[in-house]
Structure 1
């Protein structure tokens, strides 16, 4: 009799727990985005749309010029083209959805859709970091080992490094996304971002969100810090080599090949540090903090690489000349 009562009570408790879980487990999230600034959402839509169109145009121009102009078929510009392609995909995972939500009343996204967006966002962000690191390594070989550069940096090696950058970025992304989505999510379902940012989503987990957030943030910071330190390490050797060049013209020519890359590295990792190293905030302006990393950095990158690059500008002039000749 006692055992029967115990079994009955056990199933009653299990049923109650199941009902509670069914009430709290989430199937969708609400992206808060810029809902705290309703009076400027139309302005933000126009602003971000313009920035996005310029970003797309710049990246497509870099990829197109690299493809059609044979003088740009070198490792440096192949890496730049790979970075432009990665950044195009990177912005595609976030900005179109953000633009739609600025004009929509319903900003819900399914848990599966959120997981996919986070996976591609983190994977492409990691790919960008690794490609920037590979570009620094390419400059290191070109300046510090100019005689062996054609042998060390062949087209095959270039393709392998780009493939490795994609594999490494998405491997880290798979690890982080799996940690975050390994369990269920409990209410409230408000994500204080315009996309499924990992630190915002992980706080909604029914599991130990503090531990998961610490692990995931640690992985992200380690990846960012590791790639950044590798770039700095290569530039230490580059700087020491350039300073030993006897002529001022030679030093200026060597520095000119690194200026654009170093500028983008500082902007990219500087804005990333704001996102991942800032202390936890309880306010509603988390979305504003991620704008530099998700919108401004992809916008500035193609402009810096194209406007400050003589080869790119010459290739563009040649293309315009051919188009003008065809029109005639």
Structure 2
């Protein structure tokens, strides 16, 4: 099992150009994360068309010590630098040559000689081609010293279960499927723990619904309109947290950390202010009695009256 810090920073949000995410501001955010004690950073070429890797590479040069870095391979098609890929341009390429080319380009953008983790980014349900082509090439890249650990990053719990059974993984990144209100990845957590696979949990706010002070209709869930059952769970969770004097965001952030099968929780700040706020919420004591009530809601129990 690869050992990872309990908290990491994902670079997706800061990779998109906006008035708040200029180059220097993004680099300063990453360096501040290091100053907060964070020693793991996750990125991908998909994030801003490589901008996330470039900015992280600059920030790594300002950090005073070693950190773990992960990036990903698998997405292809036009991705504007600092922008998002248009849905019609999005496609996958897990061919051996595309993977090797992606690793070399990522290392160049990051300014590193080795990747601590290489994730297959959202692999297909049919793993035949990956087993026969992509995986042998990745193993060769590891033998050459370009990769230390092999993983998969996905938001699909069924895919996560499949790759755990069929691929020799050392780490799995599961986004949005093990949160305060969505426990569809609970079996994945248990399986990783039993197999000794390091589990990284991302998307703890389910793309926004759990980040709101008061969840309501019209909120975002998995980058789309939140379905009614998830809104109901979020509203019920917020009510329970409010009664205990705990912000909903603090419970959402700390939920996965208490599970023995979870190695790392990823934060996704866009600004230094957001990072400082998240670190303060992580340090906030959450009463043990609160978790049993929240667990009932997250598992699909009836909201309290």
TM class, shorter-length: under 0.3
TM-score in terms of structure 1 length: 0.26
Structure with bigger helix share is: 1
Structure 1 or 2, whichever has the larger Rg, is 1
Structure with bigger strand share is: 2
TM-score in terms of structure 2 length: 0.27
Higher relative contact order (CA 8 A, sep 6+): 1
